[in-house]
Chain A
Amino acid sequence: MSVKVNPDKCTSCETCVSTCPFGAIEMRDGRAFITENCTVCGACVEACEFKAIERTGEEAVAAATDLSAYKGVWVFAEQHKGAVSSVALELLGEGRKLADKRRTKLSAVFIGHGIKDKAKDLIAHGADIVYVADDPALRDFNDDSYSAVLTSLATLHKPEIILAGATAVGRSFIPKVAAKLYTGLTADCTALDIDPASGNLLQTRPAFGGNIMATIVAPNHRPQMATVRHKVMKKAAPDTSRKGDIVDVKFTTAVDMRTRVINTVEEVGETVNISEADIIVAGGRGMGSAKNFQLIEELAKVLGGAVGATRGAVDEGWVPYSHQVGQTGKTVCPKLYIAAGISGAIQHLAGMQSSDVIIAINKDPHAPIFSVATYGIVGDVMEVLPIMIKKFKEMRG
């Protein structure tokens, strides 16, 4: 895509010059001139009263991308109120491996306000370069400004891979960047690898409601972009002796931010509901082992429901993170929630207490889970669950 000035319509008013967030417009021969700093953001198109500036087709981009011009692995280092999100550190761990395989550098793109001193943490976690866009106007997440910064940096430096967390923020604005760059984006990946022959990023993700896994590549487009789930990649242990470059990125605040966050309400999940399941059977550490945890799956199957878990169970490796319910997992409100071997830590309750009916099974009569349970069963899960499975199965015919 490109932005063009129609010299016959341009009145030399210079409005576009001051509007351009990237300082990419100059006056030459008394007419606006788009320099190579242009990111095709389109701010000038809207600003021009005389309709002298046009953003034209994707034709230009299609003209065969020179793949070898793209180098380096990038990670969008998401942060909230200055705290780097754990998925960003996980991606630096994974990005480091990918960069080493490609014998190239790992860079982090760090956008926000008052975050500059955290850039060295990203280096400690594996980055060679950190691009820091630190500006008051970037404090709140904004689709327009965040995508403008990442798009302009990617246009300038041409990375071969860009990774971001499959978070609310990442999944909102990263597709806009991919759309602008005319490149492939794979959502919600759970595994990444490099095909050594082609240098293609092998991106694996679940599809069809998790029924199948698909491996996806973008053979003829760069950068190769992916959003990646929490917890599937491993953080590297921080090494504060690592050296890297911190590069300041100027943000000139004039990106047309067409949306504005008036207020942010942090909910320790009472109503947030991501899961579509009407029945959830969840297990905690009280299930005792990976094998025992299969009872949870079996009961869920009998009921036609989904499997949930506490962080305890996820940490043990019994069930993938995607099943975690709670403050740092999914917030659910099914019609029926069966909690087995779950103590009922506040962080877990936060994720499930808005369920219609809650059945809790725990051998400890004082377990806090009972405080939210519609029906509490004091007993051993290994005794109770098999009976439930049998009975419910009979009832369902």
Chain B
Amino acid sequence: MNIIVCIKQVPDTSEVKINRETNTLIRDGVPSIINPYDMYAIEEALQLREKHGGKVTAVTMGPPQAAEALKEAVAMGVDDVVLFSDRAFAGADTWATSYVLSRGIKKMGEFDIVIAGKQAIDGDTAQVGPETAEMLGVPFVAYVRKIEKVDIGAMTVERMMDEGFDIVETKLPVFITVVKEINQPRLPSLKGKMKAKSLKVATLTAKDIGAEENFCGLKGSPTKVVRIFPPAPRGQREMLSGTVDQQVDLVAKKLKEQTLI
């Protein structure tokens, strides 16, 4: 089974702050991580490989430093990685990102399943999955929380919906996006880390994947960001004080015992 995982390197948004004077993001010192949803995508691909055999390739479109994210994926156990990187890709919106991913993936040859995260925590758009699937011309299933079974040429999955879930049968090859519920991502192995260390990440440019520059990056992006501003503030927080209550003490003790605080 040939499995491709789309991962994105993102700033850890839980640590992103906004500079209220300039209305820009303070990114200094904010660590770059693999988009958390993509960790589930990697894990699911590895589990599929363990069950059905085959090969897992992680791909990303990004600047040269995105190679670090691919190395982390190798440390977790993926077999191969490809970085789509080109100056022409900079400033891509979801359409232009999907264009490059679909061209790149097509270039890599046949596949059975492409797995992406439900959304990236920096943009939160959840659009790159379905847009890439459309451009690849393969069926698409969003929000997969469980892969029930894989047959020849078909697969059955559970898809989370607003009011519950659907059991969906899809033809292969297919593109799916996965949610948090699907698995518990593994930690990198020592062996994997060693492999990652010495790995030279293969990089493909626009030319290599046959992408037209007019459709890449800022130039190819239909959308433009015209303004960035902080969300409406919630107002001043008051620090109130009061007498010590026994019930609160008890709860505090319990929570401490359970390492919740």
Quick one: which of A175, A188, A276, A383 contacts B131, CB cutoff 8 A? A175
Give residues of chain B (1-52) contacting chain A, Cβ–Cβ below 8 Å.
11, 13-14, 16-18, 23, 25, 36
CB distance from A270 to the nearest CB of B (A): 10
Residues A295 and B240 in contact, CB atoms below 8 Å apart: yes
CB-CB contacts below 8 Å: B160-183 with A: 160-171, 174, 180-181
- Which residues from chain A contact B190 at a C-beta distance below 8 Å? none
Give chain A residues whose Cβ lies under 8 Å from the Cβ of B235.
Answer: 294
A-B CB contact pairs (8 Å), 5 listed: A167-B162, A179-B134, A184-B93, A294-B236, A385-B240
Set B16, B163, B240: member contacting A267, Cβ < 8 A: B163
The total of Cβ contacts below 8 Å across the A-B interface reads 252
> Which B residue's beta carbon lies closest to that of A333?
B181
Say whether, besides A80-B163, A185-B95, A273-B181, A298 and B237 are in contact (CB < 8 Å).
Answer: yes
Instruction: Name which residue of chain B comes closest to A261, CB basis.
Output: B166
Contact for B170 among A258, A294, A303, CB less than 8 A: A258
Question: Is B260 a contact of A387 with CB atoms below 8 Å?
Answer: no
Chain B CB within 8 A of A375 CB: yes
Identify the stretch in B53-61, B68-76, B135-143 within 8 Å (CB) of chain A at 4 or more residues.
B135-143
Given A168-B161, A357-B260, the answer on whether A261 and B125 have CB atoms closer than 8 Å is: no
Q: Would you call B152 an interface residue if the criterion is a C-beta within 8 Å of the partner chain's C-beta atoms?
A: no
Contact mask for chain B residues 134-158; partner A; CB cutoff 8 A; 1 contact, 0 none: 1101111111000000000000100
Task: Check A217–B261 contact: CB distance below 8 A.
Answer: no
Q: B130 to chain A: which residues have CB within 8 Å?
A: 143, 171-176, 179
The reply to whether B142 and A262 form a contact with Cβ atoms under 8 Å apart is no
Bound state CA distance, A182 and B99, in angstroms? 10
Bound CA–CA A384/B252 (angstroms): 12
A258 near B168: Cβ-Cβ < 8 Å: no
Spell out B's residues near A (CB within 8 Å): 11, 13-14, 16-18, 23, 25, 36, 93-95, 98-99, 121-127, 129-135, 137-143, 156, 160-171, 174, 180-181, 212, 214-215, 221-231, 234-245, 247-252, 254-256, 258, 260-261
Instruction: State whether the Cβ of A128 lies closer than 8 Å to any Cβ in chain B.
Output: no
Known: A210-B231, A294-B235, A295-B240. A264 touches B166 (CB 8 A): yes
Q: Assess the A383–B156 pair: CB atoms within 8 A.
A: no
| Contact present for A207 and B142 (CB under 8 Å) | no
Contact among A58, A272, A294, A392 with B164 in the assembled complex (CB-CB below 8 Å)? A272
Q: Is the interface of A mostly helix, strand, loop or mixed?
A: mixed
| A65 CB → nearest B CB, Å | 10
- Take A176-B131, A262-B156, A387-B244 as given contacts and tell me if A216 and B223 are in contact as well, using a CB distance cutoff of 8 Å: yes
Contacts A208-B122, A266-B164, A294-B238 given: A186-B223 contact, CB under 8 Å? Answer: yes
A366 at the interface (CB under 8 A from B): no
The answer to whether A262 and B230 have CB atoms under 8 Å apart is no
The minimal Cβ–Cβ distance linking A300 to chain B, given in whole angstroms, is: 10
Contact B240 A335 (CB under 8 A): no
Is A104 on the interface with B (CB-CB < 8 A)? no
Contact of A279 among B99, B169, B260 (CB under 8 A): B260
User: With A176-B130, A176-B134, A186-B223 in contact, do A386 and B240 touch (Cβ < 8 Å)?
Assistant: yes
Whether A258 contacts B139 in the complex (CB less than 8 A), given A208-B13, A387-B245, A395-B261, comes out as yes
Please give, as numbers and ranges, the residues of chain A lying within 8 Å of B228 by CB-CB distance: 212-215
List 10 extra interface pairs beyond A167-B162, A175-B126, A215-B225, CB under 8 A. A45-B137, A179-B131, A179-B132, A180-B134, A208-B13, A262-B166, A264-B167, A298-B237, A301-B237, A359-B251
> Do A396 and B162 form a contact, CB below 8 Å, given A171-B142, A184-B222, A391-B252?
no
Cβ of A179 and Cβ of B245 under 8 Å apart? Answer: no
Are B180 and A276 in touch, CB under 8 angstroms? yes
**Please, which residues of chain B bring their CB within 8 A of the CB of A218?**
222-224
Q: Once the chains bind, are A392 and B252 in contact (CB under 8 Å)?
A: yes
> Chain B contacts of A171 at CB under 8 A?
126-127, 130, 142
B225 contacts across to A, CB distance below 8 A: 214-216
Residue A241, interface by CB 8 Å: no
